[in-house]
Structure 1
Amino acid sequence: MALGQKKTLLTKSTTEKIVIDGKFTETSWTNADVAKDFLMIEPDNGKPIAEGKRTEVKVIYDNSAIYIAATLYDDEPSKILSEFTLRDDFAVADHFGVLLNGYNDGQQEFRFFVSAAGVQQDGVYTETYGEDFSWDAIWDSHVEITNFGWTVEMRIPYAALRFPSEKKQTWGLNFYREIRRDRQQYSWSLLDRKIENESIQAGILEGIENIETPTRLFLIPYASQYFYSNTSQRTYGELRGGMDIKYGINDAFTLDAILIPDFGQTKFDNVELNLTAFEQQFTENRPFFTEGTDLFNKGDLLYTRRIGETPDYLTLADNETVIDQPSTIKLINAFKVSGRTKNGLGIGVLNAVSEKTSVHIRNNDTGETRLETLSPLTNYNVLVLDQRFRKNSSVSLVNTNVTRNGEFRDANVSALVWDLNTKKNTYNLSGNFKYSYVNNHFDLEDKKGTSAYFNLGETSGKYRYSIGGVYASDDFDNNDLGINFQNHYHGFYLNSSYRILNPNNIFNTFFTNLNNYVEFDNRTGRIQSGYSRLNFNTTDKKNDYYGFGATISPLKIYDFYEPRSENQEKFVTIPESFNAYFYFSSNYNRKFALDVNPFATKFNEKDRMNYGFVISPRYRFSDRLALIYNFTFNRQNNNIGWIAFDEDDNTIFARRNRITYTNTLQGKYSINNKMNFNLNVRHYWSFVTNHDILTLQDDGGFETNTTYTENRNSNLNLWNLDLTYSWWFAPGSQVSILYRNNSALFSREFNRQFESNFRDALNNDNLNHVFSISVRYFIDYNSVKNSRFYNSFTKPKTRERF
């Protein structure tokens, strides 16, 4: 093959019914072209696959789907690893995958993997965000372990892909194989580790012509029954129902909609005792807002947890209490439309509407109550236009809008985003410019702000570097539909890195990077952040992982957020500091594996230090049963932080000690690749004792305060347990059963014994129990249309003769 020439595979059409059984007995496979000669990705980049482990793949297609047949030879079939897991968990197993790009634009791939245990994984790859396995498609696969290795047969319907409406299709194509026992990864078209963008290195799939794709209309109705109970009230039930709709507007654009959403079985949040000036950011666990959202993440303007979030608009008097405040605001509906034209223009629209929610507020002195709107009827909207060009670059326009009914705050944010790469993917110029506008109503001034970011870097080779800067004006605010912790600052960075591309005598992989960053307050010019960070990440010849690093902040920095004062020029002086960590993770191929991570930070201040460790043993009893335990300990000595404002509006801080224990246990038992039991347990205990009360001074220092006597110690005790059973009884159709119990206890007065706090978490009036059963059923319009039942009602009937 000539230098720079891409591998090409020619596919052929079939009218034969293909049974997905891993046996390849249909005659259509006989004359199909073969993709072979795989090359190693890691650890020895570019090395040809051994003859005893050769891999041969064929592709055919019809008007509804493409079909893949892979023969994966192995000279030691008895050693093929095949752990059963939940979907999208790669775990300890061999894998085969197909990577498809219907536009062949080098920027996005739909990736479909199946393990030697038959477990499916699927995700979307983009150059900017890497692999995103929150996306789930509906496709079919089957594997067979043989005396020469194993085989994979896959059917991927066109509904799971995106491609232009052209009579003759040219797709980007790659195949992937992982031989887990050797920790070796291979691809058909070489993924050169000198080049950061993987999609641009795909081969070519040709031969798909004149396909007449069926109507893409899928209905997924669901019904859920919930039972709730705690020690302070009787058990009660709730029946919910709704539907998801997926409609292919054409081969490129898709509409996803949810009617009467139900997110009651989503994973619990890992809540923490938050003593910072900023809110805690949570992972999005609701499938609708995680699946296929790569287009909507352009510009980092979208934090989907805002949709349905309980707001904090209410202003309460000291003697008032909210009686019935909900944890979330119910959604009425939500939809998203996304796709891309044949000219590379991606268009995305996401919209959600939450209902008006009111709460009762009680006057604790008189007992009287009043009704107050907690959240008005609210519309959330995101619009994205993303133009790709030259197979490796893009420019995007993004707009987010939140409109609240009545005299409530409205917000609008727009962004111009660019990601430009040289023809050989050697250099990258990326950045964005954002503009925010907030209509506050209530006689408050509207807010207008800007933010910007730029980056220039070398993105290929062993040595790489990047330089860039960030800026945010005083009034930049995208928090209505995004999340942003800071404004009124500007900063600059310089990063460099080195990696080996092939193993040496000591390491299979080696990567090191040096990051330098400095940030200034716009108004005063004071340094808000400044550090140099050196990290090393290595894998040895036994595939054990070692990571270690250090961060030095050599100058005093000034925190303008911790004072939490209306006087935005108040600040706290943070002394110089030094941080170091070490991370060890043994090879997960072993039945017993261990992760260890000690860390420490020393401040240039007497007795002020943070330290702790994480230890996480895991044991795989069999391919079906595994347990992972994680224990985290963190201690902060002589930490200084805000606690209150006194009656004279002085800012009160405290010198304090904080200790946090987090215990988690994860377990899984898989009956097969469709049925799984999963256990997720978390006990979190964090307490803070204040021992010196301080008043913040104008110079950022402190003066001892002897008059403030209110107890501001904190103790947070959290317990969560989820036990789930899931059964994928048909493609896209699932039964899930959940038992959950949880509690949350916060107090100012407490003891410091772990055993006592653990018992309190399990034995208290706030311990909640939830039992739920949910059934989702996937309906393909085409299957219904072709059924006898459907035809008996739709076909014209002949008149009977007498």
Structure 2
Amino acid sequence: MHPFFRALLTLTLLATNLVYSQKKTVEAKSISEKIVIDGELDENIWNTAKVASDFVMLEPDNGVPIAPEKKTDVRILYDNEAIYVSALLYDNQPNLILKEMTQRDNFGTADHFGIYINGFNDGQQDFRFYVSASGVQMDCIATEAEEDYSWDAIWSSSVNITEFGWVVEMRIPYAALRFSKEEKQTWGLNLYREIKRDRQKYTWSPIDLKIGATLPQAGLLQGIENIKPPVRLFFIPYASYYHERNENTSNNTFKAGMDIKYGINDSFTLDAILVPDFGQTVYDNVQLNLGPFEQQFNENRPFFTEGTDLFNKGGLLYSRRIGGSPSTYASSENPDEEVKNPASVNLINAVKVSGRTSKGLGVGFLNAVTEQTFATVNNNVSGESRNVEVEPLTNYNVFVLDQRFNQNSSVSFVNTNVTRNGDYRDANVSALVYDLNTKNNKYNLSGDLKYSYINELRNFDDQKGINTTLGFAKKGGNWRYSLGGNYVSDEYDSNDLGILFINNYHGGYGNFGYRILNPSGIFNTFRINTNYYLEFQNTTGRTQQAQVNIDVTSTTRQNDYFSLAVYLNPLQTYDFYEARTSGRFVNIPKNIYTSLYFSSNYNRPFALDLNFYSTATTERNRENIGFTIAPRYRVNDRLLLNLSGDFYNQFSDKGWVAFDGNDIIFSERDRNTITGQLAVKYAINPRMTVNVSSRYYWSYAENKQFLTLQENGVLIPNSTFTENRNYDFSTWNFDLSYSWWFAPGSQLSVLYRNNASNFSNEINKSVRDNFSNLFENNLNNIFSVSFRYFIDYNSIKNAF
């Protein structure tokens, strides 16, 4: 090539790169006058602020400019207390704007406007604030990995539907954000709009989905200077009353306590709960668990869900351990004694400190203390009773350091520690976690190294183990892939404050996938992924898992969703856990799992979810078949009905049931499970809702024949074991709740709850009889009222 043309090409490429590397920028305007958040925008100062506009589609047609009739203009003001945001969202058909009214943090079927703020402009974490066309607020802390909607900030907003579209007005206090102490602030900023009827999402700063990371593609907010944020100190006192009644007892309980939030500085916040009360948290979906592992439940307690992204680094924290079941249990060999073990341990208090410095160093500290707990042993002959300690005073601690760099990479150190008073078991687990990305976010190297140390004081036995993973991935573009491996030693154990089902294995995985980034043909979105995984037990080298998976997901032009999954296990594998005996295993036959799922467009008043799933094996008659149907009907913008039914049949399932001398006894059994759920939402206004949530669950396992496990993992018929190993379990939960956010951060909630459960070794296969018997089995009723009030120190300091 001629040198002149080579130079011209070089200059052209440099100019093109310069244009595309420049970030969109908008300036905030300083104000001294008061802004009333009413959705009217009648303050003249709004007209003097710079405008952020020219939104670009994020999904489904990535990169297409917004239509002129859907123009969106955003302005930002600020003072020493907060930033103020106004948005004019034009729509040539304002009568078609969807505006379902929901609970907070539930997007529902409505148009939305959002602002994403990154106070450190490091491309790593956003504070996101949304408001729907019906006025409902949603907020979250967002990273590339997840959006955490359990985080709730205190901010104000108002909307107004107009003849040209709709208007949004927001006030976001600095207390809801994190940023540096620089005199001149430069924040990462993006603005979001969703037009729900078209299922179209737009952003102010364009996001190229060919690039693996979205947060670093934000624009810039400049102009904020010399702000002096007020002290961040908040008190949330609460009072609650509970009346509980069943056929045997009735009692009343009154509780009072306080949550405290204190901004140590602009970056770090302390959260503390004094005398906690979690009595109104969502009920657990308990199941008949016949497997070798405990059932894992979601965390529903606000303190342990809000703003915990740092503490979840490395996957070492399962917060349900704190205040969960005791680590030991009492028993008695005396047939005259009845032992009552407690189901849980009371939490005395908890505190957490978290935040991030201007240099990108995140620091998290969580500490909780649970009380000494006893089981009760009653002698039915003498009438005497005694207490047996099953859990001492216990301290739980989590410490995290997370250093971010290059806008899109991080290295973290995590430590969890459980210290029990006296000679009980103590545990300590540490992890080094890394997530490294190239500058263009196209390639990723990630992994971890975890080390556990268990001190069994009673047995004078220390246990040390390691767990490590390493993975490489191509994240951007239409074609994406990943590969990696993991190793877990036989003594690695993180279960004191985490949750771990298996150890003593090593494995490797691969993933290869394709996706469209713009609508094509009949599809708005289309993805196909293939996954490959092999896992081997360390001691014997036997194969524990061998899977080839294919997942296809798509959204049609009518925004109906389809997915197909095929999971093939082409090799015989070995289960080292079902036998409940170290070193023993049971053979698992080759099998194939398939799932077909359909979800119709929720924009329609009536929508339907359907899912069919099944597993077939090479063993005769050993198969599973399941079907889920979930219709939903949006009566109007306030009332939504959801119904779900799941029917699951397992034929010739084989699982452990007992030990008989030196024999390990399995059962070949048929198992049927029915789950029915009903949810009703009625929104009185954006801050007041009434909700009904109910769940009926019934599962039974009927023995066909007993089997004895051989040393080689084969099961052979057993004719000598004759105990009843049939299982019938049913449970019912019903919640009727009223929630009123009567002021920012302040809530009145009223809850009526009833529940019942029944377990038996005798099976009655009549659904009607089972449901009726469940309510006759000592139905428990709870009525509760909880009042929480948010107090900003700045609003009361003059009184002192």
Mapped to 2, the partners of 1:542 and 1:663 lie a distance apart of 29
- Residue from 167, 191, 212 that aligns with 2:228: 212
Q: CA deviation at 1:327?
A: 3.0
Q: CA deviation at 1:323?
A: 4.9
Mapped to 2, the partners of 1:455 and 1:292 lie a distance apart of 27
Kept in 1, the 8 Å contact 2:293–2:501? The answer is yes
Kept in 2, the 8 Å contact 1:16–1:26? The answer is no
Kept in 2, the 8 Å contact 1:301–1:483? The answer is yes
Instruction: Please state if 1:615 is matched with 2:629.
Output: yes
Mapped to 2, the partners of 1:593 and 1:364 lie a distance apart of 57
Mapped to 2, the partners of 1:692 and 1:365 lie a distance apart of 40
Q: CA deviation at 1:407?
A: 1.0
Quick one: which amino acid aligns to residue 785 of structure 1?
K
- Residue from 71, 76, 92 that aligns with 2:93: 76
Q: In the alignment, which residue of structure 2 is the partner of 1:655?
A: 668
Mapped to 2, the partners of 1:552 and 1:367 lie a distance apart of 59
Quick one: which amino acid aligns to residue 733 of structure 1?
S
Kept in 2, the 8 Å contact 1:310–1:375? The answer is no
Q: In the alignment, which residue of structure 1 is the partner of 2:482?
A: 466
Instruction: Please state if 1:297 is matched with 2:309.
Output: no
Instruction: Please state if 1:167 is matched with 2:183.
Output: yes
Mapped to 2, the partners of 1:215 and 1:742 lie a distance apart of 45
1:345-384 map, 5 Å:
345-363=361-379, 368-384=384-400
Q: In the alignment, which residue of structure 2 is the partner of 1:630?
A: 644
Q: Secondary structure at the match of 2:95?
A: helix
Quick one: which amino acid aligns to residue 628 of structure 1?
N
Q: In the alignment, which residue of structure 1 is the partner of 2:11?
A: none
Q: Which moved more, 1:194-203 or 1:278-287?
A: 194-203
Q: Secondary structure at the match of 2:312?
A: helix
Q: CA deviation at 1:742?
A: 0.2
Q: CA deviation at 1:641?
A: 0.3
Q: CA deviation at 1:369?
A: 3.2
Q: Secondary structure at the match of 1:136?
A: coil
Q: In the alignment, which residue of structure 1 is the partner of 2:8?
A: none
1:399-438 map, 5 Å:
399-438=415-454
Q: Secondary structure at the match of 1:295?
A: coil
Mapped to 2, the partners of 1:172 and 1:367 lie a distance apart of 69
Quick one: which amino acid aligns to residue 114 of structure 1?
V
Instruction: Please state if 1:120 is matched with 2:141.
Output: no
Q: CA deviation at 1:32?
A: 0.6
- Residue from 413, 425, 430 that aligns with 1:397: 413
Q: CA deviation at 1:364?
A: 5.8
Q: CA deviation at 1:748?
A: 0.4
Q: Secondary structure at the match of 2:303?
A: helix
Quick one: which amino acid aligns to residue 744 of structure 2?
P
Q: Secondary structure at the match of 2:311?
A: helix
Mapped to 1, the partners of 2:781 and 2:338 lie a distance apart of 23
Q: Secondary structure at the match of 2:21?
A: coil
Kept in 2, the 8 Å contact 1:591–1:621? The answer is yes
TM-score in terms of structure 1 length:
0.96
CA 1:213–1:320 in structure 2 vs 1: closer, same or farther (change >3 Å)? Answer: farther
Q: In the alignment, which residue of structure 1 is the partner of 2:293?
A: 278
Q: In the alignment, which residue of structure 1 is the partner of 2:60?
A: 43
Mapped to 1, the partners of 2:389 and 2:454 lie a distance apart of 20
Mapped to 1, the partners of 2:131 and 2:341 lie a distance apart of 45
Q: In the alignment, which residue of structure 2 is the partner of 1:606?
A: 620
Mapped to 2, the partners of 1:12 and 1:30 lie a distance apart of 11
TM-score in terms of structure 2 length:
0.97
Quick one: which amino acid aligns to residue 325 of structure 1?
N
- Residue from 481, 495, 498 that aligns with 1:482: 498
State the identity %.
57
1:621-770 map, 5 Å:
621-646=635-660, 648-765=661-778, 767-770=779-782
Instruction: Please state if 1:182 is matched with 2:198.
Output: yes
Q: In the alignment, which residue of structure 2 is the partner of 1:342?
A: 358
Q: CA deviation at 1:440?
A: 0.9
Kept in 1, the 8 Å contact 2:330–2:375? The answer is no
Quick one: which amino acid aligns to residue 310 of structure 1?
S
Kept in 2, the 8 Å contact 1:322–1:359? The answer is no
Q: CA deviation at 1:342?
A: 1.1
Kept in 2, the 8 Å contact 1:560–1:571? The answer is yes
Q: In the alignment, which residue of structure 2 is the partner of 1:798?
A: none
CA 1:320–1:86 in structure 2 vs 1: closer, same or farther (change >3 Å)? Answer: farther
Kept in 2, the 8 Å contact 1:320–1:361? The answer is no
Q: CA deviation at 1:316?
A: 1.6
Mapped to 2, the partners of 1:680 and 1:370 lie a distance apart of 40
Quick one: which amino acid aligns to residue 683 of structure 1?
Y
Q: CA deviation at 1:562?
A: 0.5
Q: CA deviation at 1:230?
A: 0.3
Mapped to 2, the partners of 1:450 and 1:660 lie a distance apart of 38
Kept in 1, the 8 Å contact 2:332–2:339? The answer is no
CA 1:346–1:320 in structure 2 vs 1: closer, same or farther (change >3 Å)? Answer: farther
Q: Secondary structure at the match of 1:244?
A: strand
Mapped to 2, the partners of 1:93 and 1:492 lie a distance apart of 43
Mapped to 2, the partners of 1:369 and 1:707 lie a distance apart of 39
Q: CA deviation at 1:623?
A: 0.5
Q: In the alignment, which residue of structure 2 is the partner of 1:572?
A: 586
Q: Which moved more, 1:684-693 or 1:4-13?
A: 4-13
1:122-201 map, 5 Å:
122-128=139-145, 130-201=146-217
Kept in 1, the 8 Å contact 2:509–2:534? The answer is yes
Q: CA deviation at 1:65?
A: 0.6
Mapped to 1, the partners of 2:265 and 2:20 lie a distance apart of 38
Quick one: which amino acid aligns to residue 606 of structure 1?
R
Mapped to 1, the partners of 2:493 and 2:587 lie a distance apart of 25
Mapped to 1, the partners of 2:448 and 2:300 lie a distance apart of 27
Q: In the alignment, which residue of structure 2 is the partner of 1:800?
A: none
Mapped to 2, the partners of 1:150 and 1:320 lie a distance apart of 73
Q: In the alignment, which residue of structure 2 is the partner of 1:797?
A: none
Q: CA deviation at 1:366?
A: 6.3
Deviations 1:603-660 (A, max 9, x none): 11010000111000000111011110000000000010000111x1311101111000
Q: In the alignment, which residue of structure 2 is the partner of 1:98?
A: 115
Q: CA deviation at 1:357?
A: 1.1
Kept in 2, the 8 Å contact 1:54–1:72? The answer is yes
Q: Secondary structure at the match of 1:30?
A: helix
Deviations 1:17-36 (A, max 9, x none): 11101111223212111100
Q: In the alignment, which residue of structure 2 is the partner of 1:584?
A: 598
Instruction: Please state if 1:248 is matched with 2:263.
Output: yes
Instruction: Please state if 1:506 is matched with 2:519.
Output: no
Q: Secondary structure at the match of 1:583?
A: strand
Q: CA deviation at 1:62?
A: 0.6
Q: CA deviation at 1:166?
A: 1.4
Quick one: which amino acid aligns to residue 105 of structure 2?
D
Mapped to 1, the partners of 2:555 and 2:313 lie a distance apart of 33
Mapped to 1, the partners of 2:770 and 2:337 lie a distance apart of 27
Q: In the alignment, which residue of structure 1 is the partner of 2:783?
A: 771
Q: Secondary structure at the match of 1:785?
A: helix
Quick one: which amino acid aligns to residue 262 of structure 2?
Y
Q: CA deviation at 1:505?
A: 1.8
Mapped to 1, the partners of 2:480 and 2:90 lie a distance apart of 37
Kept in 2, the 8 Å contact 1:532–1:551? The answer is yes
Q: In the alignment, which residue of structure 1 is the partner of 2:576?
A: 560
Corresponding pairs, count: 782
Mapped to 1, the partners of 2:47 and 2:477 lie a distance apart of 42
Kept in 2, the 8 Å contact 1:737–1:773? The answer is yes
Mapped to 1, the partners of 2:765 and 2:379 lie a distance apart of 35
Q: In the alignment, which residue of structure 1 is the partner of 2:793?
A: 781
Q: In the alignment, which residue of structure 2 is the partner of 1:515?
A: 531
1:50-69 map, 5 Å:
50-69=67-86
Q: CA deviation at 1:373?
A: 0.8
CA 1:523–1:554 in structure 2 vs 1: closer, same or farther (change >3 Å)? Answer: same
Quick one: which amino acid aligns to residue 759 of structure 1?
S
Q: Secondary structure at the match of 2:160?
A: strand
Q: Secondary structure at the match of 1:671?
A: strand
Mapped to 1, the partners of 2:588 and 2:461 lie a distance apart of 33
